[in-house]
Structure 1
Amino acid sequence: MSSSPTKESIIPKLAPPNSTPLNDPPSPRTHRALRRLQSAHTLGQSSHQPSLITQQHKQALQRNLSPANNPSLPPHSRGRSNSDATNMTPPNPGSASRRPAAGKRPILADALSLDRLIRDGPPDGDLLSALESTRLKILDQGIKSDTDGMSSLRIYVWLILLNAPVLETDSYLALIHRGASPAYSKIRNDTFRTLATDPLFRRRVSEASLIRLLNAVAWKLHDAKEGRAESLANAGKITHTANEHGSPELQTSTPAMKSRARALTLTTEGSDAGASEPGTYVQGMNVLAAPFLYAARSEAEAFVAFHRFITYECPGYVRGAMDGVHKGLALVDKVLAIVDPKLSLYLIGKGMNAELYAFPSVLTLCACTPPLPEVLRLWDFLFAYGAHLNILCIVAQLVILRNSILSSPSPTKILRSFPPLQAEMVKEVALTLIRKIPDDVYAEIVSHAK
């Protein structure tokens, strides 16, 4: 997302299902260019969308247009939203944009099922309300799926929430036909053990499919890396007129400065210089990619969703140094100390910080914890309201295990592998924890994966 949500945009509006009413929460991705929800197969970008303030002004003006002040308005009717309108003059009743007849009410996004909302698009083109309604439906009802977690709708909801671009299948195939990427050997060392004990994943997703996806993503990241290096090299070229003493730049540059300038053209921003494949593949990306392949209806869909996710939502997780993951681990310790000091002190006293037990959960957004259908339900929530909330979801699992941990002389055995994931319970606990987090810490949570 282009702009991270503020704590205030979530706290008063989000609540655990079946508790307090959910009344019009502001979107946590308000500032992102919203996607057109035209159909499940046609995913486009929205344009010319007015700001929230503009829409609120328009709504206020609409409320002031009463039948007493405007005889042309039928009683109890509301004008159709028109984001391209330059004023709030009621349209001509004879025009194509006729107001609803008396006694008829416009269809609202909240009145539609999630399936119909995604299939038919937002009523009257009201993208903002449709997106907010989608998020609320995910929070309150979830995405309908079978016992194996399979849903024909889920991948399209993810693509919309991630604001993923349209990708032609031929573009994905072109990456496949390029052959082995520079990270191919590392990929092959990881794919065979991806969710190896999960029969649902092994039955549906082949290792060959996972190799193709990761290799294509590695090529895509490699190309971006080369593009950035070329841009830096071009930016470092300064035209000048040499004199009898040679280049003015070379005269004033020390050997250290020349070496640093060259290094800037050979490394990528945020990469670890010591990593063998900086910015193209890191261990753990195989597990992070697995749910995308499981939920998608094609490799191309999984590719565009996964690539969008790691490059926009958590690029810090997949850089060579994994700096985003390490920041996330430090935040797990910090958040636990805030919400449950006793549990935090007990774990610290046992020499257990998050680096020892939460690394896989942070890196994979809990995809390492079975069962897979519960992972998909948790990801529905994370994609709707921000992947950074995974930090709170990990702390929520610790809080759920609180009594077992405190009563165990060796909590390492409990936390070596987390108990089976319960998505609904984790979501409910995580939402209660948000209120306890100071604003500055929450800001760190939002930005840690960038």
Structure 2
Amino acid sequence: MTPPNLGSAGRRPIPGKRSVATDALSLDRLIRDGPPDGDLVGGLEATRLKILDQGIKSDSDGMSPLRIYVWLILLNAPVLETDSYLALIHRGASPAYSKIRNDTFRTLATDPLFRRRVSEASLIRLLNAVAWKLNDAKEERAADKLASSTNSKVTNTANVHGSPELSTSSPAIKSRARALTLTTEGSDVATSEPGTYVQGMNVLAAPFLYAARSEAEAFVAFHRFITNECPGYVRGAMDGVHKGLALVDKVLAIVDPKLSLYLLSKGMNAELYAFPSVLTLCACTPPLPEVLRLWDFLFAYGAHLNILCIVAQLVILRNAILNSPSPTKILRSFPPIQAEMVKEVTLTLVKKIPDDVYSEIVSHAK
């Protein structure tokens, strides 16, 4: 577990001072045994640098016994007992179940690697469990707000059982809170409150299930990711995604004004071509093994860098876009991801971003 202040947010992926002791260890041994002398800061830095320099070893299908544990560490995910995950499963269909079922069957439908390893039933269980977890948090916030409002109007001496008046009224409070938070089909989209499921979460969850060695691991990593790294992406109004799209346009104008102006002259802003790439951290673009390698980099230095990775893909396509009278055809679906090339271009772009814009990138998904 890494202390919150040692997270990746705000870090630019620029190699810093290396720790001699940790640098001598392989990534596998560093994860298995922990950093020498309990040097957590040095161990985390070494892990990030090893991912940046060498990547996480995996086979041609992108499978690695180490990857999910690296992700869990970098995400600072809490330990979760499998029984806690099973308890969520045994609760049955969540309020978002019908929306989940409308999406899961088409998740990475054309990717044979994903379809062979991850069943639709597994994806449904994970998303339904996350929906229950988010729904519980939503109800708790509503109940707390209602209780706080009620409490401000009640003067009462509390005893070991709490306030008698509040205790007596708690079923009504809970009932009202539940009525406030249960959503009808599609209604999450119209609110800026944290929802329980939005379209696209199925694709965002897919790489976690593919990389994990159990559903419970995928669940805790995915839940930690969407609630800590990009809660703005899964709120009903998806305000974080729309901020991210505006930043794609802004960053492209900074690093390649000519390409930016050409796309704008064709009426093409990021909203038209980059929405899936922002929402899913490029998981919508095959091949999946390359997505996993890109995610290694994003989890090491911050998921916010996905904005720069999308711009990097545009820069890679620069000549084809500028030579095309209709770049819509090129950007209708991005060419297959080449993670190493995207990372290299991203590292060159990072140096060109002003501090104030970089701060916007870091915070846009919160």
Q: What is the TM-score when the length of structure 2 is the normalising length?
A: 0.88
Aligned pair 1:160/2:73, yes or no? Answer: yes
**Secondary structure of the structure 1 residue equivalent to 2:113:** helix
Whether the 8 Å CA contact 1:196–1:202 is kept in 2: the answer is yes
The CA distance in 1 between the partners of 2:8 and 2:276, in whole Å, is: 25
Equivalent in 23, 26, 31 of residue 17 of structure 2: 23
Where in structure 2 are the equivalents of 1:47-62 lying within 5 Å?
Answer: none
CA RMSD of aligned residues (A): 2.3
Asked which structure has the greater RCO (Cα within 8 Å, sep 6+), the reply is: 2
**Secondary structure of the structure 2 residue equivalent to 1:236:** helix
CA gap 1:276/1:133 in 2 versus in 1, 3 angstroms: closer
The CA distance in 2 between the partners of 1:146 and 1:408, in whole Å, is: 37
Whether the 8 Å CA contact 2:135–2:181 is kept in 1: the answer is no
Where in structure 2 are the equivalents of 1:142-157 lying within 5 Å?
Answer: 142-157=55-70
Letter in 2 for 1:210: L
Letter in 1 for 2:120: E
Find the counterpart in structure 2 of residue 205 from structure 1. 118
Whether the 8 Å CA contact 1:5–1:446 is kept in 2: the answer is no
**Higher fraction of helix:** 2
Once the two structures are TM-superposed, the CA of residue 125 in structure 1 deviates from its matched residue by: 1.1
Equivalent in 202, 211, 215 of residue 295 of structure 1: 211
Whether the 8 Å CA contact 2:192–2:235 is kept in 1: the answer is no
Aligned pair 1:239/2:153, yes or no? Answer: yes
Whether the 8 Å CA contact 1:369–1:418 is kept in 2: the answer is yes
Find the counterpart in structure 2 of residue 375 from structure 1. 291
Once the two structures are TM-superposed, the CA of residue 109 in structure 1 deviates from its matched residue by: 1.2
Whether the 8 Å CA contact 1:267–1:273 is kept in 2: the answer is no
Where in structure 2 are the equivalents of 1:253-268 lying within 5 Å?
Answer: 266=180
Where in structure 2 are the equivalents of 1:312-391 lying within 5 Å?
Answer: 312-391=228-307
The CA distance in 1 between the partners of 2:254 and 2:194, in whole Å, is: 35
The CA distance in 2 between the partners of 1:5 and 1:123, in whole Å, is: 21
Aligned pair 1:441/2:354, yes or no? Answer: no
Find the counterpart in structure 1 of residue 12 from structure 2. 10
**Secondary structure of the structure 2 residue equivalent to 1:282:** coil
Find the counterpart in structure 2 of residue 131 from structure 1. 44
CA gap 1:112/1:273 in 2 versus in 1, 3 angstroms: closer
The CA distance in 2 between the partners of 1:113 and 1:436, in whole Å, is: 32
CA gap 1:6/1:159 in 2 versus in 1, 3 angstroms: closer
CA gap 1:273/1:345 in 2 versus in 1, 3 angstroms: closer
Find the counterpart in structure 1 of residue 172 from structure 2. none
**Secondary structure of the structure 2 residue equivalent to 1:418:** coil
Letter in 1 for 2:42: S
Once the two structures are TM-superposed, the CA of residue 124 in structure 1 deviates from its matched residue by: 1.2
Per-residue Cα deviation, 1:109-168 (whole angstroms, up to 9, x for no partner): 111100011111111111111111000000000000000000000000000000000000
Whether the 8 Å CA contact 2:191–2:235 is kept in 1: the answer is no
State the structure with more CA Rg: 1
Letter in 1 for 2:30: L
The CA distance in 1 between the partners of 2:148 and 2:45, in whole Å, is: 42
Once the two structures are TM-superposed, the CA of residue 235 in structure 1 deviates from its matched residue by: 1.5
Q: What is the TM-score when the length of structure 1 is the normalising length?
A: 0.72
Find the counterpart in structure 1 of residue 108 from structure 2. 195
Once the two structures are TM-superposed, the CA of residue 23 in structure 1 deviates from its matched residue by: 3.2
Find the counterpart in structure 2 of residue 214 from structure 1. 127
Count of aligned pairs:
337
Following superposition, which runs of at least 4 residues in structure 1 exceed 6 angstroms of deviation?
A: none
CA gap 1:148/1:6 in 2 versus in 1, 3 angstroms: closer
